[in-house]
Each structure stands twice: as structure tokens, then as C-alpha cells.
Structure 1
Amino acid sequence: MLDPIKRLLGRGGEGNRPPEPVEDRFPVEIPESGSERVTIVVSRVSTYDEMMDLINELYEGNILIIDVKPLLKRRGEHERAIEELKRTVVSLGGFVGVIKDTVILATADNVDVERR
């Protein structure tokens, strides 16, 4: 049976358990524009409201790496939060996918994700 994240996103990913809770910001320069900066936001989410706060980062053009393991303990709420993330990414023309079992990568349209 597929785990809830893979089922909701429709994509798979494999790997070990994600690292301990982290919430950091890593500025990344975008070479094309030179003056524009993108921030990679790494966070662990345990509630729908926390997910909504992170989704706002996508509107600013930032990259999200989200560990949703704590959120999975909340039946119904995790599906609603992940669906909202998915809807937002689609509306922005971005990318959403599973990095590891409970870790999601989400971007707006200003970031190209290349799979190899």
C-alpha cells in the first residue's frame, strides 16, 4: 500500500528517515537575474496552519522542503494541508514532489527542477 504522501501527490520517492526537525533559510542566488534571490525554507510541519504559513513562502518565490511526518498523525488534516499545497503549486505553475517518504519539495514557477 502506498504511503499517504505518495498517494496524495501521485509521485514516489524512496530513502531513509528524514533528519531531526529543522527550520532554516538558505539564500540562493539566481544567475539569470543577478539581483533576485530565492530562499530555501526547510521546515517540519505538524498542523494545517503551519502548512498555510509555509505556502505563503511560495508566493514570494521561495523553495520549500517540508517534513510532514508529524502532520500525518492528524487524520484528515494532513490530507487537507497537502491538497492545499498541491493546489497552490499548480496555480503558480510550480513543482511539487516527494524527496523521501515524508519530505516534500515544492517550488513556484521561478525554479526549474530537473530529474535525473
Structure 2
Amino acid sequence: DLYRITFRIVDGAGAETRNINVVDGYTPVNPEAIENDIIALKRMGYNGARIHEKIETPRFHFLCDKLGILRTMEMPSFYWLSRRAFPAYEKEFREIVARDAMHPSSIAWVVFNET
């Protein structure tokens, strides 16, 4: 199987998903792969997911809303923080929050992880 999920219970209710795609980094094998992951979460009784250092697509958020999966999102790590680079990072973060803020599934954004 080209697409796998591993789960970890967080605070007794949530789950961390690690989507591993052996074909191409963070890109899903096909559009159904993400939907299948979210459906699998729901079937196993989870109600939340931590999306680690990856920005998801609007389709992902729509499916979380539809299936009742709460989620947190984390910006990818920004290891080379500099005064010159930070404005672009901040702009991108603000755009992502503005795009996804109205989704009922959006419960938190992590600005810096391991930075």
C-alpha cells in the first residue's frame, strides 16, 4: 500500500496522523487518499487530528468539517529565521489562517514548531 496511517492517542481523544507517501513526499497518491485517511480516523472513533508541519488543502478542511474531525495545523519549521526572511513567513501564515479560519474543524494553528 502506497499510503499508510499511524495513530497516537493525544489527551484521550485526538490522534496524530502521519501520512507516508513513498511515491512523492507530502503529495497524496490520489484525491481519494486523503478522504480515506479522514474516514479511517472517524471509523476508529477519533475526533481530532494534529497535522504536523504541513499545510493542508481546502478539500482536506472541507472533509474534516463534513465528517466532524477537529484539527490543528502547524506551519513547517522555519530553521533559518532572519529579519529578511521573516516577513514572507508571516505573510504566508496570515494568508493560511485567513483562508481556513471559518472552517468549524479549525481549532488551532501552531506558528513555530521546533524553530
Same fold (TM over 0.5): no
TM-score (norm 1): 0.36
TM-score (norm 2): 0.37
Looking at secondary structure, tell me which structure has more strand per residue.
Answer: 1
Larger Rg: 2
Q: Which has the higher contact order (CA 8 A, sep 6+)?
A: 1
